[in-house]
Amino acid sequence: MTSLTASSGLDALQSPAPVRWEPRRALALSVARKRTAFVRGMRLFFTAAALAITGLLVAQLVLGSGGPTTGETEAVSEDVRMTNPRFTGRDENLTPYVVTADTAIRRRDAADGVTELEHPRLDYNFLETGTDVSRVLAESGRYDLPNRILDLHSDVNFRTRAGYTFQSNHARIFLREERVTGEESVEGTGPMGTIRADSYEITDGGNRIVFSGNVRARLTQDRTAPTPDATPEEGND
Amino acid sequence: QIGNSSLPLDIEAETFEVLDAERHIVWLGNVHVVQGDSSLQADRMDVYYTGEGPGGGWGDIDRIVATDNVFYITPAQRARGDRGVYELAEEVITLTGDVVITQGDNVITTTRFVNNLTTGNSNFGEAGTGERVRMVLQPARSTDTTESSEAAETPEG
């Protein structure tokens, strides 16, 4: 305040006194409060934005850590879903096989190398899936890549090379050793007739088939339905 | 009787094993075969086909070999033995071992029983083995129920 009064006498001797520059102090209290609030808001906004960006960066790093996959992949929450997956391999006789499906799902909590399949199909010399190799084997399945085991569930339908058909709700195909087991009831047909049982096993490349548990069968014979043009020497008696 | 060999065979068992290349089926565990109005039961049955595998068809059932606790039951008789062979082409059943045949009240025991299902002829025992065939025949009951029974021993076969 004192510096102000000492200079007032000099001012009077000079030509019209120049206007001194001072910041406009006409800021009313309410305007000042508004300005403070605005500044505080901006500070919060920028802090939150910085945190969000950091979070996104960390998430990107975590998601990006998975290995390479075949088929178009699409990360759906926890699981990785592949469309038109294709798994190939050879059994112990070096016979090739190809497992395909509409969709494959690798669950995050699933054991290593185990993939769930929707409408699995199998192109494999030991088993036929009817005339159309691309025919679906079952509603759903699980492929255990390390152990080469294909588990099929619900509405399982397949045929062996020797002409035996199987309808069941379960089939476990051991792709390493041309072997199939089924732990649920099965309806089977073969050259000799029809069979029903609680479980079944196919080994030896389809040459040996064992049906177990409450087995019911009807064996029909050519004799039963003699061919229309059977000549006497063809007949059996 | 198991004689109309062209009829289908309905079979129940605990296990059914197919050996495709050999055209051979094995039935195990309380095996029960029904054909027409007759049945064959045993602990095990092997079914052999006439076809040549693999590649060829299965053909017809050539024969059925039943082993252990064999029962052959028809409306007219009930026979049991240790082993039974049913040859479908010839329509002949052969039971061997400890064979017991019951027809109503009549009982026949022997070691070999051959039944031709087409002609209905039966053959008991086996020539030259010295085995005896024993028969207990109950005469047909007349209305005044006079009972007499005699054990008749008949020479072999």
pLDDT digits (tens, 9 = 90+) for A72-97: 555 556 788 899 899 888 888 888 88
Give the residue from B103, B14, B113, B32 showing the smallest Cα distance to B69: B32
Q: Which residues of A touch B12 (CB under 8 A)?
A: 214-217
What percentage of chain A reaches a pLDDT higher than 70?
70
Instruction: Compute the count of residue pairs across chains A and B with CB atoms less than 8 Å apart.
Output: 86
Residues in CB range of A125: below 8 A, 6 or more apart? A95, A96, A97, A161
Contact B16 A164 (CB under 8 A): no
Q: Answer yes or no: is A75 within a domain.
A: no
Chain B nearest-CA distance from A190, in A, is 10
Q: Answer yes or no: is A2 within a domain.
A: no
| pLDDT value of position B151 | 46
Cα atoms in the 13 Å half-sphere on the side-chain side of A47? 6
Which among B5, B15, B20 has the least Cβ separation from residue A207?
B20
Mean pLDDT, residues A22-28 taken together: 57
Give the residue from A71, A93, A94 showing the smallest Cα distance to A82: A71
Mean pLDDT, chain A, whole residue set: 79
Q: In whole angstroms, how far apart are CA B155 and each of B8, B133, B137?
A: 39, 8, 15
Q: Answer yes or no: is A57 within a domain.
A: no
Chain A nearest-CA distance from B27, in A, is 9
Q: pLDDT tens digit string along A154-200?
A: 999 988 888 899 999 999 999 888 899 999 999 999 988 999 999 99
Domain that holds residue A139: 80-219
Residue at A199: amino acid letter: S
Residues in CB range of A169: below 8 A, 6 or more apart? A153, A154, A155, A156, A184, A185
Q: Answer yes or no: is A163 within a domain.
A: yes
Helical (H) or strand (E) element with A30: helix A29-63
Q: Answer yes or no: is A92 within a domain.
A: yes
Backbone angles phi, psi at B107, to 5 degrees: -130, 135
Q: Which residues of A touch B20 (CB under 8 A)?
A: 162, 164, 206-209
Chain A nearest-CA distance from B40, in A, is 14
Helical (H) or strand (E) element with A51: helix A29-63
Mean pLDDT, residues A104-124 taken together: 87
| pLDDT value of position B150 | 47
Among B residues 64-103, those touching chain A with beta carbons less than 8 Å apart: 88-89
Find the chain A residues whose C-beta atoms sit closer than 8 A to any C-beta of B. 162, 164, 190-193, 195, 197, 206-224, 226, 236-237
CATH number of the domain that A200 lies in? 2.60.450.10
Cβ atoms of A129 and A121 closer than 8 Å: yes
Q: How far is residue B42's CA from residue A184's CA, in Å, rounded to a whole number?
A: 27
Q: Which residues of B touch A237 (CB under 8 A)?
A: 89
Segments of chain B with pLDDT less than 70: 1-3, 54-55, 141-157
Contact A216 B21 (CB under 8 A): no
Cβ atoms of B34 and B50 closer than 8 Å: no
Output A143 or A14, whichever has higher pLDDT: A143
Cβ atoms of B17 and A232 closer than 8 Å: no
Which among B6, B13, B18 has the least Cβ separation from residue A190?
B18
Tokens of residue A41, six digits: 């808001």
Contact B59 A222 (CB under 8 A): yes
Q: What angle do CA A124, A86, A136 make, to 5 degrees?
A: 55
Q: Which residues of B touch A193 (CB under 8 A)?
A: 8
Q: Answer yes or no: is A95 within a domain.
A: yes
Cβ atoms of B36 and B3 closer than 8 Å: yes
Which among B5, B15, B18 has the least Cβ separation from residue A223?
B5
Give the residue from B79, B84, B73, B91 showing the smallest Cα distance to B34: B73
| pLDDT value of position A184 | 96
Domains contained in chain A, number: 1
Contact B10 A218 (CB under 8 A): yes
Residue A28 has pLDDT above 60, yes or no: yes
Contact B18 A224 (CB under 8 A): no
Q: Answer yes or no: is A10 within a domain.
A: no
Cβ atoms of B44 and B26 closer than 8 Å: yes
Contact A219 B14 (CB under 8 A): no
ipTM surpasses cut 0.95: no
Give the residue from A180, A114, A101 showing the smallest Cα distance to A144: A114
Chain B nearest-CA distance from A149, in A, is 24
Residue A234's closest chain B neighbor by CA?
B59
Q: How far is residue B18's CA from residue A215's CA, in Å, rounded to a whole number?
A: 13
Query: Token pair 């007949």 is at which residue?
Result: A235
Q: Answer yes or no: is A104 within a domain.
A: yes
Q: Which residues of B touch A220 (CB under 8 A)?
A: 8
